[in-house]
C-alpha cells in the first residue's frame, strides 16, 4: 500500500531574506541553546520525540556510531528550544559545499506545538545558518540556506518556512509506502480518546 507525498523545496539566498518571528511571551521562559557536545542519545531522543507522529523514519535504524559520525561533522549543529527547562524542539543545520547550509531537521515535540515557539526557533536557527562560518573556521561563508518539507509533515510546516522568508524553488510528487506511525515509543503521546 502506498500514498502520494508532495515535497516542497524552499530556500533563502540572502541573509536579508530572513524574517524573524515574534518571541514567545516572557512567562513561557523559552530559551534556545546550541547542543555543543555531540550526543547520539540526545539527538536520537529529539529526532524520535519530534518526528514520531509525522513519520520521520529514515534515522530510526542508525547505529550509535553513525549518529556520532554525523554529529561530529564540521558545520553540523543542533539548536534546542527549551520551555522552562524542558526540551520543546530542535533545528539541525548541516554545512554543505560552496557555502550552502541545509536545515536538515526542524520541529517541535507535540505538546509544544501551537505555543509560538516554532516560528521563533526557526527564525533563530536560520539566523545561525547564516552565521555558521563564524563558529566553524573551515566552513565557507553561507551563501544559501535551504530546506525541504512534505505533505507528511505538520500541517503548518510549509507556511512557517514561508513566513520566515523561505521561497519555494521546486516541488516533487512521489508514491511512498504507508508506514505505521512509530512514535517515540509504543503508546507515547495522546491517544484519540484522550486528545483534545
Exposure of 5 in the CB half-sphere (CA atoms within 13 A) = 16
Residue 192 has pLDDT above 50, yes or no: no
Quote the percentage of the chain above a pLDDT of 70.
91
**Average pLDDT value for residue range 89-114:** 96
How far, CA to CA in Å, does 181 sit from each of 31, 56, 187?
30, 9, 11
Pick from 3, 1, 10: which is nearest to 144 by CA?
10
Pick from 74, 108, 120, 116: which is nearest to 93 by CA?
74
Exposure of 190 in the CB half-sphere (CA atoms within 13 A) = 9
Enter the pTM of the model: 0.90
How high does pLDDT run on average in the chain?
A: 90
Which band of pLDDT confidence, cut at 50, 70 and 90, is reported for residue 8?
very high
Cβ-in-10-Å burial (0-12, 13-18, 19+) of 104 comes to: middle
Domain range summary for the chain, segments of one domain joined by + = 2-177
Residue 182 has pLDDT above 70, yes or no: no
Tell the residue number behind the cell numbers 510546516, with chain if given.
157
Query: How many Å apart are CA 12 and CA 9, to the nearest integer?
Result: 11
Residue 191 has pLDDT above 60, yes or no: no
Give, in words, the CATH class of 2-177: alpha beta
Cell representation of residue 128: 545561525
Which band of pLDDT confidence, cut at 50, 70 and 90, is reported for residue 155?
confident
Check: CB of residue 46 under 8 Å from CB of residue 108: no
Query: How many Å apart are CA 72 and CA 38, to the nearest integer?
Result: 6
Amino acid at each position: 500500500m502506498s500514498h502520494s507525498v508532495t515535497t516542497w523545496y524552499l530556500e533563502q539566498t540572502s541573509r536579508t531574506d530572513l524574517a524573524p518571528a515574534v518571541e514567545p511571551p516572557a512567562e513561557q521562559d523559552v530559551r534556545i541553546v546550541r547542543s555543543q557536545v555531540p550526543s547520539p542519545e540526545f539527538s536520537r531522543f529529539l529526532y524520535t520525540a519530534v518526528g514520531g507522529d509525522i513519520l520521520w523514519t529514515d534515522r530510526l535504524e542508525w547505529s550509535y556510531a553513525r549518529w556520532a559520525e554525523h554529529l561530529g561533522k564540521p558545520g553540523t549543529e543542533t539548536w534546542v528550544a527549551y520551555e522552562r527547562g524542558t526540551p520543546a524542539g530542535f533545528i539541525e543545520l548541516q554545512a554543505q559545499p560552496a557555502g550552502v547550509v541545509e536545515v536538515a531537521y526542524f520541529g517541535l515535540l507535540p505538546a509544544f506545538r501551537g505555543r509560538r515557539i516554532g516560528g521563533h526557533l526557526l527564525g533563530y536557527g536560520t539566523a545561525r545558518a547564516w552565521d555558521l562560518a563564524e563558529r566553524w573556521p573551515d566552513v565557507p561563508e553561507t551563501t544559501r540556506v535551504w530546506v525541504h518539507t512534505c505533505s507528511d509533515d505538520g500541517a503548518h510546516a510549509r507556511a512557517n518556512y514561508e513566513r520566515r522568508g523561505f521561497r519555494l524553488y521546486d516541488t516533487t510528487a512521489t508514491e511512498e509506502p504507508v508506514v505505521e506511525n512509530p512514535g517515540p515509543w509504543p503508546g507515547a503521546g495522546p491517544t484519540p480518546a484522550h486528545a483534545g
